[in-house]
Amino acid sequence: MARKGTALVAMAALCWGISGGIAGVLLNDGWDAFVVSFFRGAIGLLFVLLWLALRPGASGLANRKLWFWSVIAGLGVAGNFAFYFLSIRQSSVAVAATLMYCAPVFVYLVSFVLKLERSTPLKWVAIGMVMLGIVLLTGVYENGAGGVTLIGAGAGLLAGLSYAVFIFGFKYAAPHGTPQAILVIAFAALVTVFIWLVEANQVMAVFRSPSWPLFMLLGVLGAGLSFTLYIIGLHHTAPSVASVVAMVEPVSATLFGVAVLNESLAGLQIVGMGLILITATALAFYSSAR
């Protein structure tokens, strides 16, 4: 089951990578980061509401712990969406992605403090290799210091912290109810947050825009389908391992850029991609063997 769990997390990361490319297109077209985040979560909510309607049995909706942890997870997702897009606005995609993927550091620290996992040299080597791979893949080392604002750096780190929050929220919500019930509560919390952050005229403009199919695809891949796969996989995977395996997202996002946006990869970026894939695969086998 551990191997199946890591595979589902990897599939979710692939969806996130593709949706990241879609979000990049929308942001480049001038759409507000909060509006993009709102529609990503709102369409995801519709997706999981349909799932819950089709499979309502044993949902656990009467369980208070389910509601508590699901709301925590939803707030984590909201923060991740918002801070990640804000970081892109204030710095660059490379800087924002690298800072956001400091999330495993937060996950490990919390896991060690709460004695959920034991610190081992292998885990620290793995996280170091993956972080090195992400730095090489994104080419963040080529950005000048003047290109990174304090807001951009802070938002990127907060995106990573938010990512760690929803990892733990989903993990502790899973034993108390079905995945679809957890996701409905989480996305409802997310939508509630963004309702107060977006302007009504911008929301209505989406429905009159030719970009609405991209918003729909972003919601399905970036929220509905991906988080369904993720929460099921996380139920059978340690939080720290899941956070590292999910780092294949930058790989799929980069491939999207090459295939769709006509971007190119340098030699060191290919090396970084290899480091991420090899380390994530090794962690998957290590997780299943424990």
pLDDT tens per residue across span 231-277: 778 777 776 666 667 667 777 776 776 677 666 667 776 787 677 76
Range with the poorest average pLDDT among 11-15, 102-106, 169-173: 102-106
Q: Are 283 and 244 in contact (CB under 8 A)?
A: yes
pLDDT of amino acid 27: 83
Q: How far apart are CA 136 and CA 128, in angstroms?
A: 12
Q: Kindly report the average pLDDT of the chain as a whole number.
A: 80
Region 63-69: mean pLDDT is 94
pLDDT of amino acid 146: 44
Q: What is the largest CA-CA distance in the chain?
A: 55
Q: How far apart are CA 253 and CA 229, in angstroms?
A: 18
Region 14-36: mean pLDDT is 86
pLDDT exceeds cutoff 60 at 145? no
Q: Which of 79-83, 103-107, 118-122 has the highest mean pLDDT?
A: 79-83
Task: Give the model's confidence band at 36: pLDDT under 50 very low, under 70 low, under 90 confident, else very high.
Answer: very high
Burial of 64 (0-12, 13-18, 19+ CB in 10 A): exposed
pLDDT of amino acid 143: 55
Q: Are 12 and 230 in contact (CB under 8 A)?
A: yes
DSSP state of 178: -
| Structure-model confidence comparison of residues 190 and 235, the more confident one | 190
